Amino acid sequence: MQPHFVKGQLGWIEVVTGCMFSGKTEELIRRVRRAMYARQRVVVFKPGIDDRYSTDSVGSHSGMQMRSLQITKASQIPGLVQDAQVVGVDEAQFLGPELVEICEALANEGRRVIVAGLDQDYRGVPFEPIPQLLAVAEYITKNLAICTVCGNPADRSQRLVDAGTRVLVGATDAYEARCRLHWSAEPFPRQQQLPLGENLAES
């Protein structure tokens, strides 16, 4: 027997934010899995470069994974949520300002909306639409990572590769978590780039 989704139930927005390597996706997956244990219907979205509604997985750096729907823009979400009681959105910083009113509408319909995303870009600039979502969310969790230089709590993403763009999609090896003291938005020499793993087929 399926539990009923009663229209008009109280919905809300939860935001899980922080820098890279702070465990945002792990936390999103953990919360969605808890809802599944309670036999609630869930759906998780993540932005992708692909132009189709392909099925994909949200995955954390630690290897936790959950099936998700890949979207290219936030406006695709309402047409795909069906009767999900819990709606998760990962990497929300890539979905633009329209995500805010979409999350509001989903919560107003009585759904639990869980959004995970970076609160700052590599220059330390607030990464919209996360600041706007923090303003309208009922619950906010800011995760900290650990500074790779000193081991103190870190809330910033240090870019290690000078690529001239705001985001390097999927290039997690181009960043490190850093504390305020050891983080810099300044340009840096290219030789700071982390070495990539060796491809044995090329040697």
Residues that bind Zn ion (CB under 5 A): 147, 149-150, 152, 179, 182
Collapse the DSSP code of 23 into the 3-class scheme (helix H, G, I; strand E, B; otherwise coil) and give the result. coil
Which residue's entry shows tokens 């709590």? 153
String of DSSP letters for 39-90? T--EEEEEE-S-SS--EEEEE-TTS-EEEEEEESSGGGSTTT-TT-SEEEES
Of 9 and 152, CB closest to Zn ion: 152
C-alpha span between 112 and 73 (Å, rounded):
20
C-alpha span between 85 and 98 (Å, rounded):
21
CB of 127 to Zn ion, least distance (A): 21
Of 33 and 180, CB closest to Zn ion: 180
CB of 36 to Zn ion, least distance (A): 37
Of 23 and 117, CB closest to Zn ion: 23
Q: Active-site residue 101, yes or no?
A: no
CB of 13 to Zn ion, least distance (A): 32
* Residue 179 near residue 156, CB atoms below 8 Å: yes
CB of 160 to Zn ion, least distance (A): 15
CB of 178 to Zn ion, least distance (A): 6
Taking alpha carbons only, the member of 114, 134, 116 closest to residue 17 is 116
Q: Taken in order 92, 94, 97, 102, is the CA torsion positive or negative?
A: negative
By DSSP bridging, strand 86-89 and strand 42-47 are parallel
Of 100 and 147, CB closest to Zn ion: 147
> Which of 27, 91, 138, 202 is the catalytic position?
91
Of 41 and 182, CB closest to Zn ion: 182
Report the catalytic residues: 91
